[in-house]
Copies of this chain bind each other. A is one copy, B any other.
Amino acid sequence: MAASLRLRGAASGLWYRSHRPRPAAASLAAVASRSMASKTPVGFIGLGNMGNPMAKNLMKHGYPLIIYDVFPDACKEFQEAGEQVVSSPADVAEKADRIITMLPTSINAVEAYSGANGILKKVKKGSLLIDSSTIDPAVSKELAKEVEKMGAVFMDAPVSGGVGAARSGNLTFMVGGVEDEFAAAKELLGCMGSNVVYCGAVGTGQAAKICNNMLLAISMIGTAETMNLGIRLGLDPKLLAKILNMSSGRCWSSDTYNPVPGVMDGVPSANNYQGGFGTTLMAKDLGLAQDSATSTKSPILLGSLAHQIFRMMCAKGYSKKDFSAVFQFLREEENF
């Protein structure tokens, strides 16, 4: 896998530096000077659907924010609330020694860190940089190396739970990075989530997120196929769900988020698959799983097929619907 990591940081000189001796303990003294206890400003980059409520929860806990987003409109609300808005990730890094990034893709994360006006251009020694984006763990590792070279600390901390959990401060954070820094990360993440789990070295936060979502995707499609087959064989959907849920077929997709309209209340299938976790986001996460599996040579027969199925759904008009709409996608009858 080392090889593929190097590959992804390809081309321009990055990768071969990774063989140099690691700057041992370089950051320890620096870290001592970081302002952890007092509520000094926290940088926040990426104020989208998720970032917005997350940042607000930090505010509620009394942290002054240094804000940046590529779309100035996304910052307005925070400016009006008295937070400081700056004009680049570099500027955030100049004013805050703890920064949270919440961005849609690996590319955006790379740009925020390594771009022309990226964090790394002005990051202070000892800073704590927490990336809550869901991206390729190999990219997280590359970013961590770059950050470490500047004498700062990087942790990957992707979330599970959607916009609702972000608003109520009930996200789950899966955190990868040096264990000694976990307490410092938890101080901030605990303001936004009810569950902050340490997963291991840098990249394992992403790995845990990707793994969970791959299994979720598989069991959701499996539940949809099973419910559909059962219905065609004459079973009542509610009864079938009840039987599965007291048997070995039980899974989160069958007992908590059943994809068949009429089986449960308060889930997307009860509301025409609106809200919830968009099919396009699931397809994106499965693309990350696919990349990780290819680079680690791990066979993922069902995971790979699940990826292709959500991919097709996106092309057939389901991209904005909740991913449990796979039941609708499969259930249509042949007429001939």
Which A residues are closer than 8 A to B by beta carbons?
A: 1-16, 18, 105-107, 110-111, 113-116, 136-139, 141-143, 145-146, 160, 172, 174, 195, 197, 199-201, 203-204, 207-208, 210-216, 218-219, 221-223, 225-230, 232-236, 239-240, 243-244, 246-254, 256-257, 280, 283, 287, 289-309, 311-312, 314-316, 319-320, 330, 332-336
When distances are taken between beta carbons in the complex, the residues of chain B under 8 Å from A12 are 9, 12-14, 114, 146
- Do residues B218 and A105 form an inter-chain contact, with CB atoms below 8 A? no
Contact A295 to B229, CB < 8 A, known contacts A138-B9, A315-B334, A334-B319: no
- Do residues A218 and B219 form an inter-chain contact, with CB atoms below 8 A? yes
* Closest B residue by C-beta to A335: B319
Contact A141 to B5, CB < 8 A, known contacts A218-B218, A240-B208: yes
A contact patch SS: helix
- Do residues B18 and A234 form an inter-chain contact, with CB atoms below 8 A? no
- Do residues A244 and B211 form an inter-chain contact, with CB atoms below 8 A? yes
Interchain CB contact (< 8 A) of A332 among B115, B254, B257, B315: B315
- Do residues A301 and B142 form an inter-chain contact, with CB atoms below 8 A? no
Min C-beta distance of A222 to chain B, whole Å: 3
Interchain CB contact (< 8 A) of A235 among B200, B221, B223: B200
- Do residues B219 and A299 form an inter-chain contact, with CB atoms below 8 A? no
Interchain CB contact (< 8 A) of A212 among B200, B221, B244, B306: B244
Min C-beta distance of A120 to chain B, whole Å: 8
- Do residues A257 and B246 form an inter-chain contact, with CB atoms below 8 A? no
Interchain CB contact (< 8 A) of A11 among B110, B293, B296: B110
| Residue of A201, A208, A249, A252 with highest tally of chain B CB at under 10 A | A249
- Do residues A7 and B139 form an inter-chain contact, with CB atoms below 8 A? yes
Measured in the bound complex, the distance between the Cα atoms of B8 and A117 in whole Å is 20
Given A6-B110, A160-B247, 17 additional A-B pairs, CB 8 A:
A1-B296, A5-B295, A6-B10, A6-B16, A7-B10, A10-B142, A11-B114, A16-B114, A199-B239, A207-B234, A218-B222, A221-B302, A229-B298, A247-B252, A297-B311, A297-B334, A301-B308
When distances are taken between beta carbons in the complex, the residues of chain B under 8 Å from A314 are 297, 334, 336
Measured in the bound complex, the distance between the Cα atoms of B297 and A280 in whole Å is 11
When distances are taken between beta carbons in the complex, the residues of chain B under 8 Å from A291 are 8, 291, 294
The 9 closest A-B pairs by CB, nearest first: A6-B15, A251-B251, A218-B222, A9-B142, A215-B249, A207-B233, A4-B295, A12-B14, A315-B332
Q: Can you report 12 A-B residue pairs in the complex whose CB atoms are below 8 A from each other?
A: A1-B296, A6-B10, A7-B110, A9-B14, A10-B114, A199-B235, A200-B239, A204-B234, A204-B235, A211-B240, A233-B296, A304-B308
